[in-house]
Amino acid sequence: MNFKCSSEQMTVSVCQSLKTVKRLTSNTLFFALGMLLMINPSVADQLPATGCNTVSLDRLSTLQATARQLHNLGQFDQALSTYNELFLAVRLNDGLFSEQQLPVLDRLLAVNIDLSAWDSLNQYLNYHEWLTHRLFSKNPVALAEQLQVNSQHRHNAANRLEGPQRSWHLVQARTQLWRAVSALETLPDEADRLPPLWLKIANFHYELTHDSQRWLTSFENRTDEPVMISGWALGGDEVEQRSYEIGAELLQKISTYYRSRELPPEIDRYFSEATLISLQGDWELLFDQPQRAKQFYREALSIASRSSCAVDIREALFGQTVLLPVTDLGLGRSSCSETSLNAADIPVGLLFDNTETNRYRPHWRTLEDLDE
């Protein structure tokens, strides 16, 4: 018997099959398809990429609005059911591997985190990663953007977890950012996208190394060297030292990158340099190197003093509460006229009230306290 058929025949056959199983829950259908692809990934290339256009646009719009409303109201179980129905409908209409399903998949990931449905979340995360590479293997920018989405969801999951599960998601989140960096490095014109990713990766190194419970699983560090260092091969102190070195290297790369670039006219050059140097001081402080931190902070203040906006820069960087680690480079604004705080109004004692869980950049008046 000959079981071969044309792509058109296969499309019709698959569409008819999908219509037949619409009585199944969308979760069951998704799980079945996921298992099929995991067992035999080559099946994906045999399935039709085109959709069947079986669900009306009005129905899609209604499902989307209902799911969003349920999610916003905190009715997560109902939201999950509706998002799953929407997910299936989009795939029926646009194809099993269409880009149109990504926004729905994004919401499915979010609601699974809200429900603490970790097994289901992992399935969706793996599918999202697989689909991202399938769709955007030749589009580095789109690939990097979706890898960052995957990383953010993994980070959100880690913030709801403890122990090895938390560390595992942090490791995976960091790995996705390295993959995004690798994709963008193939496009010199997109280099401006790299520094924020370098900062996020450095922060992941700090978060993993200084997790309050120190649940470290296997992790990999990547630098400019063509080598991967496995965490399994390192002791606790070595892991911390390696993470410190990689973070310091990444922050230096950020500083070097911006110093070699022409900044927009609205950005004060001294503000930019002082900001970048203060970030390096933050890194030293986070890794309990107060003397080195003080040197960077003093250098930042010295550079700021050369600007016509010296007071504004000082107050922006060292005159208000700055929780560490900083998650935003903060180079997208000018230094002058954007500082609303008055130094006389700052409760200095609170600004340097570091605890086991919170670290702050010191107020410029209290730099000497770093010796204590």
* pLDDT single digits (tens) 244-259: 999 999 999 999 999 8
The predicted model scores a pTM of 0.79
pLDDT at 239: 79
Lowest pLDDT segment from 125-139, 157-171, 261-275: 261-275
Strands (E) across the chain are located at 220-222, 228-230, 323-324, 359-360
Query: Which DSSP string corresponds to 204-226?
Result: HHHHHHT-TT------EEE-SSS
Q: How far is CA 167 from CA 163, 196, 284, in A?
A: 7, 22, 23
DSSP state of 47: S
**Top-confidence residue, 316 or 6:** 316
- Under the banding of pLDDT at 50, 70 and 90, the label for residue 278 is very high
Residue 230 has pLDDT above 50, yes or no: no
pLDDT at 218: 45
Residue 198 has pLDDT above 70, yes or no: yes
Q: Which among 132, 61, 143, 64 is positioned nearest to 102, based on CA atoms? A: 132
Angle subtended at Cα 123 by Cα 120 and Cα 127, rounded to the nearest 5 degrees: 140
Question: What is the spatial distance between Cα 126 and Cα 9, in angstroms, rounded to a whole number?
Answer: 30
Amino acid at 174: R
**Top-confidence residue, 264 or 57:** 57
Q: Which among 319, 314, 291, 312 is positioned nearest to 302, based on CA atoms? A: 314
Query: Domain segments of the chain: what residues?
Result: 270-372
- Under the banding of pLDDT at 50, 70 and 90, the label for residue 54 is confident
pLDDT at 2: 41
Instruction: List residues bridging with 221 in a β-sheet.
Output: 229
Question: What is the spatial distance between Cα 147 and Cα 151, in angstroms, rounded to a whole number?
Answer: 6
Residue 71 has pLDDT above 90, yes or no: yes
